[in-house]
Amino acid sequence: MPKICLVTHFFPPHIGGIEKVAEEQGRRLARSGYQVFVLTSKTGKQTTSHKGVKVFSYSVLNFAERFGVPYPVLSFEAYKSFVEVIRKCDIVHAHGHGYMSSYIACKVAEKFEKPFILTQHNTFIDYRSWLNVVEHVNDWTVGRLVLRDSDRVIVVSRKTMDYVLRLGADASKTSVMYNGVDTNLFYPMNKEECRAKLGLPKNRILVLTVRRLVYKNGLDTLIESASLLTRGHPRLVFIVVGKGPNRNLIEKRVRELSLEENVKLAGFVPERLLPYYYNAADYFVVPSSSGEGLPLVLLEAMACGLPVIATIVGGIPEIIENMANGVLVPPRNPEAMAETISTLLSNKELGATIGNGARKTVEKKFTWKENLRRLQEVYDDFL
Q: What is the CATH number of the domain that holds 133?
A: 3.40.50.2000
Domain that residue 315 falls in:
191-365
Contact present, 297 and 275 (Cβ < 8 Å): no
Give the DSSP letter of residue 116: E
Question: How many CB atoms neighbour CB 255 within 10 A?
Answer: 11
Mean pLDDT value across the chain: 93
Query: Looking at the structure, do residues 107 and 196 belong to the same domain, yes or no?
Result: no
Cα separations in angstroms, 212 against 35, 183, 205: 31, 22, 23
Q: List alpha helices for 87-157, DSSP H.
A: 100-111, 131-138, 144-149
170 vs 144: CA distance, rounded Å: 11
Contact present, 224 and 193 (Cβ < 8 Å): no
- Is residue 185 assigned to a domain? no
pLDDT of residue 279: 98
Give the DSSP letter of residue 141: I
Phi, psi of 306, deg, nearest 5: -85, 140
Query: Looking at the structure, do residues 333 and 345 belong to the same domain, yes or no?
Result: yes
Query: Looking at the structure, do residues 152 and 25 belong to the same domain, yes or no?
Result: yes
Query: Looking at the structure, do residues 86 and 168 belong to the same domain, yes or no?
Result: yes
Query: Looking at the structure, do residues 11 and 137 belong to the same domain, yes or no?
Result: yes
pLDDT of residue 67: 60
- pLDDT confidence tier of residue 65, bands split at 50, 70 and 90: low
248 vs 214: CA distance, rounded Å: 11
Q: What's the pLDDT tens digit per position in 144-160?
A: 999 999 999 999 999 99
Query: Looking at the structure, do residues 74 and 144 belong to the same domain, yes or no?
Result: yes
- pLDDT confidence tier of residue 127, bands split at 50, 70 and 90: confident
Task: Count how many domains the chain has.
Answer: 2
pLDDT at 47 over 80: no
Query: Looking at the structure, do residues 158 and 205 belong to the same domain, yes or no?
Result: no
Average pLDDT score over residue span 81-108: 96
pLDDT of residue 129: 81
Query: Looking at the structure, do residues 21 and 102 belong to the same domain, yes or no?
Result: yes
